[in-house]
A and B are shown apart, each in its own frame.
Chain A
Amino acid sequence: MKNKILIPALAYLIIVFAASSCAKKLDLSPENALTPANVYSSADGYLGVLAKIYGTLSITGNQGPAGSPDIGGGLDEGSQVAFIRGFFNCEELPTDEAIVAWNDQTIHDFHNLSWTSSDPFLRGMYARPIYNITLMNEYLRESTDDVLAANGITGADADNIKETVGEVRFLRAYNYWVMLDIFGKSTFITEQDQVGTSLPREISRDSLFLYVESELLDIQNTLAPAKTAEYGRVDQAACWSLLARLYLNAEVYTGTPRYTDAVTYAKKVIDAGYSLHSNYSQLFMADNNKWNDEIIWAINCDGVNTQAYGNTTFLVHCASGDDHDQYGVAGGWNGYRATQGLANLFPDLSGASDSRALFSTSSFGTSESQIQISDVSDFNNGLHVKKFINIRSDGAATSDPTNTFSDVDFPVFRLPEMYLIYAEAFLRGGAGADAGTALQYLNAIRARAGASALTSGDLTLQTILDERGRELYWEGFRRTDLIRYKLLTSNTYLWPWKGGVPSGTAVDDKYNIFPIPTANITANINLTQNQGY
């Protein structure tokens, strides 16, 4: 009896002590996660990271539509760390093209041109491109010849990955361009900067311009020739398009005009074989992936596979109210609409004389009194934009059966922008262009919209700005354009509620650039604030 219990007990003790001296048992790893070594041991692993790199522009985390955000910090995943939504808030909301009814935190500061360095939306918009770049740098570090060999990736797999290096560098340059345009300068990290080691440096606007330019020039010949990359991936034409856009705004960015270069690269794109799609409104519909004759590069969205609250799902919902069925979604968010400023660009708002006038007429109408915004919080006031709609041009069903998430791809570069850059750069003194071609390009755009042709006498900078407004509204150009024309903060051009005043007012010039979020300066002593904030 005694031994029957004592011996097993002692035996157990010995086992426990023996087992416990093995420190390894505290080394546990998660069931479902991959170590970096696992990820970069196969071509599929690289492809997964590449998908993520492209995907960061469309969706906000690892779970669609929300729930596993890339960027935390107490920021709202749907509204504050989404690229397209943040980009839209920065580039459209401060202008005559958009105003918002909601009460979300500081969202009114955008249209009021009164934002501060503690703005959470700006914190998100600063964080998004830098996060994307951090990912890209990691990918680039793993994609050098040496590392690929060390990771055991060879042959066709290695060649494919090497071809993506140029794309990833392009995407990095694009994200840096966003920083350049919005914040004027940026946290600066490249593949040389390992994660988690030291505080990143800051790069000035001049240097960042040169960096983006040199990167794009360096990679242009490593990218797939225009129109040959598979849908969703960038090619040479995307690279040239960004260069053209960069050069058009070079005078704002660096003080040095580069209009000749703008002409050169716009021309390269124009000559690459693109053509205008016959129907303007179809470019912003659920099946717009079909129009890649005109769309040079778009950010992909899908109602089932690529879900987020901050990609084109936002654009189709935020503009709709009770008329949401006409936007192809099951509910309206009653949020964004445009001011009189946009209405004034069109001779009439019905679309009869210019098919680009895509405004809601069912629930709200386009009467004078309707467009007047007396109460910013009342969504019923204002000009209701119905440009992005989650409806297919071929009448087929969209992919999300609940009509919640959008299939519309967000066009980043379209051929008309290149026409307009050509014309404007010509008018601003760029060499290699001529008035006849400029007019021909403008009239091509107008003809597609059913608008009357311009004559050579109409070829002025103001005409170009207005044409850009008509052609590119709500696509993220307006703030940059108004700054280039020195109209964003000045009293030369006022629109309703500019500066927070019903009739509009001039604001401090500091609002031509957004402030560096204070939280980032606190966290990184290398960063400096922009003038005036």
Chain B
Amino acid sequence: MNLRRLFFSVILLAGCSISVIAQQTVSGVVTDSASAQPLAGATIRATGTNAATATASNGSFSIKVPAGVETITVSSIGFKTQEVRIGSTPINIALVGTAGSLNEVVVVAYGTRRKGDLTGAITSLTAKDFQKGNITSSDQLLVGKVAGLQVTSGGGSPGGGSKIRIRGGASLNASNDPLIVIDGVPVDNNGLAGSSNFLNTIDPNDIESVSVLKDASATALYGSRASNGVIIVTTKKGQAGNVKFNFNTQASLSNVPKTVPVLSAAQVKKIITQYADSTGDNNYVDLLGNANTNWQDLIYQNAFGTDNNLSASGSVAHIPFRISGGYNNQEGILKTDKFSRVSTAINLSPKFFDDHLAVNLNVKYSHTHNNFANQGAIGAAVSFDPTQSPYATNKYGGYFEWLQANGNVIGTNGSAADPNPLGLLNINDDISNVDRMIGNIQLDYKFHFLPDLHLLVNLGLDRAWGQGHHYIDSTSSIAKYKGGIFTDYQQGKSNVLSDVSLLYNKELNKDVKFDVLVLHSYQDFFSNVYNVPNYNQSGQVDSTTIPTYKTDKPEYRLESYLGRINFTLANKYLLTASLRRDGSSKFSPSTRVGYFPAGALAWKLKDEFFKNSNVLSDLKLRLGLGVTGQQDGIAYYSYLPVYYQSTSTAQYEFGSNYYYFLRPTAYDPNIKWETTTTSNIGLDFGFWKNRISGSIDFYEKKTKDLLSVVPIAPGANFDITLLTNVGNMTNKGAEFTLNLIPVQTKNVTWNLNFNISYNKSKITNLLKNPDPSFTGIDVSNIAGGTGNTIGKFAVGYAPYSFLVYKQVYDQKTGKPIEGLYADLNRDGQITDADRYYYKKPAPDVLSGISTQVTYKQWSLGLAGHASFGNYLYNNFYSNSGVFRALQNPLHYIQNVSVDYLNTNFSNNQYLSDYYIENASFFRLDNINIGYNAGKVFHDAASLSITANIQNVFVITKYRGLDPEVSNDQGIDNNIYPRPRIYSIGLNLNF
């Protein structure tokens, strides 16, 4: 393994003068960039002509090039085709393997490896594999593309974040997010004030590849942060040679594919009138208006967006570089929502001292600007009375509001109970600016006296600064009681990394190769938090919001040592063994150090048993075992006994003076990370020169010392629950990936990629002293009532399993009978003990499929993903599908879901299994059509044009708006609709 090869995977002769002779003979050698071995049988064609030849067994070629042709095209199956400008001959060309090719170089933890030599469960994607279309945030590139990886966007907000899960997540209360590493720098993905998604600060156009590390043998090098998998993002590098430009631009139009089905104005009117007629109670019928307002239509819009990226790559003064600039501007389909980003990425990769010192410098900077719409308008529009017209003459900005007799809005704490959605959107000034710079410099020094020994240094810095304000004018129904609510905020974050390592790489003879890495790593995460009070329209400070502390500086550090050995025997047996030692400031001196070992073995069965087979091109067995940890999501100082001062609104009066509180916090001095042991067995296969290739993996993850908030004896500590290491859970699963090239002819290529994965999570223990009467921990708060929960962490069940009453249905009509549940324990009464476990939010099976057909210059692609066995709690139906919601007890009318027509429930039946719905689905994410126009502008440039439709359709039985919900709890409450996006793009190379 050699870091240099990543950065110099393409070696081109630098600097050239274009010859203008009539015909010339060009010669050179073609090699495999990964192995540096000569490549036989590669095709060399004078670009745009029929003149062609093939390389000899030593990789050499010689071709006569007609006049006027300035480049040759070099291609070979399994490699990326390259177009090389003819300079001085001979030309040496190193071809880079494509996905599916065993020679492809894959970025792994602390290095790179040939795909054929991988020992762990790793999937690598490059630009051609990514989701296509108008993609604002890089997490969306991966949707449906990797077996065992689930990426679920939080909704349709531009630039919004996603839930990312690899193999289901290994934790209950700590984070289940994977570790994200950008160009070798593990980044803090916990967000920043003013940023809706920390990953949207990276321009997807600048991303070269993404590696998804799934099993412990692949991730354990990241030690205490690796239990949920690792995603390594590598950005594009400069390619030596003449300076080439690439311009990529897209324009998109987004619309709302579907709104929440609610009652019409006529239906609302009818139901309320009937009630008044039958009861004589005219309290509500008097409130009805005469309008027919579709509130959801009023808050959504067709949204435009553009995405532009211009990059230049080549060499200047023998220094390979790449520089790019991007501008993205995206409106939200919710009115007033807007995201824009200006970004730049610079990469320099010079070499010094006869190539003994390779330097790779990356600087990525972005400025994002958000206009956040008040997303409360979504729920408000769904439930606002359709018989009212949007506007009225009142003191709330001219928007109709439900008023009391005294002219104030109905509601508690002075805020409106059901505010006008347009008022929420329009009387709202919520903007933020986020600046982020991620820079790192990597040095690879090959010792002069011992070239097999490398000194590798990676110094990284990730700095981010978010600031913004949220101003709600005093005319707003939600802010009038305070005379307007004005908030300013800012936060800074920085993350410093220093990795220093020695790599010894030795090929003893043809059969024995090994490399050894030892590394020291130090990383510091630091935040600057500023707390400021709110103020009102006239600038008066809201005394109840005066912070106790004006600033805070949370910080955590990690210091690590690691060692790794890769050993290859006879090019058939591959062994990897590693050990990482992590020390974390989050834990006490006695518990802060942990060791994370891992080992993996790969056996190239193809070379052992089928060496001469023409059918079988790859067969490799992989076995991996490793231990990882998880400490993300744990408070920084939770092992320390500390007292905190209260806020100004939490004081007590003695005499006539008020005194702040000092309160001790509950703490566990022995807290430490969660530990996950993962075993993985995998088989990689390929047939017919990998026209059919794929892999199959089986895994088991066992997590112990789960960080759980568990009940503790009252009086034993300063709380009744404590975050401590108790509990175990397991994840078991299988993954299957298949890549097919069913057709590959001169004019037509058809690619088909399919993946499917199965995962089952189960909690196996939650208590220090197992107690059969312990029923578990209530989780998953729902909207409606106070403190109602629908889910459980319970032994023997998947996390967040739903615990519900079994609904009884009318046998004649099939309708649920209100409040009637099965008496499951047959004690004659319906109590909490009659609730039963029914389904869970996490899917059993995830699948992704994508296909691309290329015919001459045209291409057509489809990509979709599916999820099976995932259930949702339809909280919108349970909270809003009842008569009580229609005639709100606070004396106003709300619209309700059409489910009311099915149930006719008068009161909420929150805990009925009626509201647990199968949310399995298939979503066609993308249809794209491309046309490669080839040379344009008198051959000065090459052009391709694409057209995309994203979020084409969803097939599901789920009755709510969208079966894909990004919370782990599986609770659906009117998400921001995911838009359907139509876009056209243009890509110009010159």
Contact = CB atoms under 8 A, between A and B. Distances in A.
Interface of A: 1-2, 5-6, 9, 12-13, 16-17, 19-20, 23, 25-36, 38-39, 45, 47-52, 54-55, 58-59, 61-65, 68, 70-76, 78-80, 101-106, 116, 118, 120, 123, 126-127, 130-131, 133-135, 138, 187-189, 193, 195-196, 198-200, 230-233, 300, 302, 304-307, 317, 322, 325, 330-334, 377-379, 402-404, 518-520, 522-527
A28 B527 CA distance: 13
Contacts of A120: 778, 787
B820 to A, nearest CB: 16
Interface in B930-962: none
A307 B652 CA distance: 10
A378 B655 contact: no
10 contacts: A26-B585, A31-B549, A31-B552, A34-B643, A34-B662, A48-B645, A68-B644, A187-B714, A519-B711, A522-B773
A313 to B, nearest CB: 10
A80 B787 contact: yes
Given A36-B664, A199-B716, A524-B713, A9 B655 contact: no
Given A16-B498, A116-B831, A524-B716, A2 B663 contact: no
Given A70-B719, A402-B413, 14 more contacts: A9-B457, A26-B589, A30-B554, A34-B644, A64-B646, A64-B649, A72-B709, A72-B721, A73-B721, A103-B907, A116-B831, A131-B719, A522-B774, A524-B714
When A and B form their complex, which 7 residue pairs have the shortest distance between CB atoms, in order from nearest?
A64-B649, A524-B713, A48-B662, A331-B412, A76-B787, A33-B642, A230-B655
B743 interface: no
B481 A330 contact: yes
Given A13-B457, A52-B662, A131 B890 contact: no
A20 B522 contact: yes
A228 B636 CA distance: 46
Contact of B786 (A47, A76, A196): A76
Interface in B464-485: 481-482
B357 A5 contact: yes
Interface stretch (B55-63, B188-196, B555-563): B555-563
B649 A63 contact: yes
Nearest to A120: B787
Contacts, number: 329
Given A30-B636, A200-B713, A39 B482 contact: no
Contacts of B584: 26
A13 to B, nearest CB: 6
B714 A518 contact: no
A72 B653 contact: no
B744 interface: no
B647 A32 contact: no
A20 B649 contact: no
Given A16-B520, A28-B556, A230-B655, A307 B907 contact: no
A130 to B, nearest CB: 4
Interface in B19-66: none
A520 B661 CA distance: 27
Contact of B500 (A17, A38, A62, A101): A17
Interface stretch (B95-103, B403-411, B424-432, B684-692): B403-411
A62 B644 contact: yes
Given A59-B650, A331-B411, A331-B413, A134 B585 contact: no
Contacts of A196: 667-669, 716-717
A502 B125 CA distance: 67
A79 B720 CA distance: 16
B358 to A, nearest CB: 12
A61 B769 CA distance: 30
Given A48-B662, A196-B717, A32 B653 contact: no
A324 to B, nearest CB: 9
Interface in B697-725: 709-721
B789 interface: yes
B640 interface: yes
Contacts of A64: 544, 646-651
Given A79-B787, A200-B716, A231-B654, A26 B557 contact: yes
Contacts of A322: 404-405, 891
Contacts of A55: 646, 650-652, 661
Contacts of B985: none
A103 B552 contact: no
Nearest to B660: A48
Nearest to B642: A33
A48 B716 contact: no
Could you say which of B522, B720, B884 has the most chain A C-beta atoms within 10 Å of its C-beta?
A: B720
Contacts of B482: 402
B445 interface: yes
A63 to B, nearest CB: 5
A105 B649 CA distance: 28
A128 to B, nearest CB: 9
Contacts of A126: 714
A19 B715 CA distance: 43
Given A104-B786, A232-B653, A332-B412, A73 B716 contact: no
A105 B786 CA distance: 7
B110 interface: no
A36 B648 CA distance: 21
Contacts of A403: 414
Contact of B713 (A19, A187, A334): A187
A49 B413 contact: no
A199 B778 contact: no
A240 to B, nearest CB: 21
In this complex, the interface size class of chain B, counting residues with CB under 8 Å from chain A, is 35 or more
B637 interface: yes
Interface in B495-530: 498, 500, 520, 522
B500 A331 contact: no
A378 B406 CA distance: 23
Nearest to B784: A103
Interface string B325-365: 00000000000000000000000000011000100000000
B796 interface: no
Given A103-B785, A104-B787, A334 B889 contact: yes
Contacts of B559: 20, 23, 25-26
Contact of A9 (B413, B443, B522): B443
A47 B659 contact: yes
Interface in B619-665: 636-637, 640-656, 658-665
B808 interface: no
Contacts of B655: 230-232
B788 A104 contact: yes
A195 B718 contact: yes
B908 interface: yes
B332 to A, nearest CB: 29
A73 B650 CA distance: 21
A118 B773 CA distance: 12
A355 B262 CA distance: 50
B717 A378 contact: no
Nearest to A64: B649
B468 to A, nearest CB: 21
B585 A27 contact: yes
Contacts of B642: 29-30, 33-36
Contacts of B769: 525
A116 B832 contact: yes
Contacts of B413: 330-331, 402, 404
B637 A30 contact: yes
Contacts of A51: 651-652, 654, 659-662
Given A31-B551, A138-B664, A5 B718 contact: no
Contacts of B498: 16
Contact of A35 (B549, B554, B640, B907): B640
B463 interface: no
A113 to B, nearest CB: 13
Contacts of A330: 408, 412-414, 481
A52 B661 contact: yes
B646 A377 contact: no
